[in-house]
Amino acid sequence: MRIFSGIQPTGRKHIGNYIGAIVQYVAGQDRGEAIYCIVDLHALTVDWGPEELRERTYDTMAILLAAGLDPARCILFRQSDVAEQSELAWILGCLTSYGDLGRMTQFKDKAPKQRELVSAGLFFYPTLMAADVLAYRANEVPVGDDQRQHLELMRDIAIRFNARFGEILVVPEARIPEIGARIMDLQDPTSKMSTTAAEEGTLYVLDEPAVVERKLKRAVTDSGEGIVCSSEKPGITNLITVLAVVRGVAPAEIERDFANARYGDFKAALATEVVEYLAPVRERYGELRADQHGLEAILANGAAQAREIASGVLDDVRRAIGVGPNG
The CATH number of whichever domain residue 171 belongs to comes to 3.40.50.620
The residues, ordered by sequence, that sit 6+ positions from 206 with a Cβ below 8 Å of its Cβ are 12, 13, 63, 281, 282, 285
Do 174 and 114 lie in a common domain? yes
Residue 186 lies in a domain: no
Residue 90 lies in a domain: yes
Do 9 and 119 lie in a common domain? yes
Q: What is the pLDDT of residues 51-88, one digit of tens each?
A: 999 999 999 999 999 999 999 999 999 999 999 999 99
Do 157 and 271 lie in a common domain? no
Residue 276 lies in a domain: yes
Q: What integer pLDDT is reported at residue 115 of this predicted model?
A: 73
Do 161 and 49 lie in a common domain? yes
Q: What is the DSSP letter of 259?
A: T
Q: What integer pLDDT is reported at residue 138 of this predicted model?
A: 97
Q: What are phi and psi of 68, to 5 degrees?
A: 125, 5
Do 105 and 11 lie in a common domain? yes
Tell how strand 140-142 and strand 74-78 pair up: unpaired
Q: What is the pLDDT of residues 198-250, one digit of tens each?
A: 789 999 999 999 999 999 999 998 877 789 998 889 999 999 999 999 999 99
Do 113 and 129 lie in a common domain? yes
User: Residue 173 to residues 102, 132, 153, 248: CA-CA distances in angstroms?
Assistant: 23, 14, 12, 24
DSSP string, 147-203: GHHHHHHHHHHHHHHHHHH-S-S---EEE--SSSSSPBPSS-TTSB--TTS-GGG--
Domain count, the chain: 2
Residue 195 lies in a domain: no
Do 11 and 145 lie in a common domain? yes
Do 210 and 118 lie in a common domain? no
Residue 138 lies in a domain: yes
| CATH code (residue 237) | 1.10.240.10
Encode burial over 74-108: b for 16+ CB neighbours within 10 A, e otherwise: bbbbbbbbbebbebbbebbbeebeeeebeebebbe
Residue 188 lies in a domain: no
Tell me the torsion sign for CA atoms 295, 299, 305, 309.
positive
Angle at 154 between CA 202 and CA 163, to 5 degrees: 175
Show the domain range for 102: 2-180+291-321
Q: In this structure, which amino acid lies at residue 10?
A: T
Confidence of residue 260 (pLDDT cuts 50, 70, 90): confident
Whole-model pTM over 0.75: yes
2-7 sheet: strands from edge to edge: 74-78, 33-38, 2-7, 140-142, 173-175
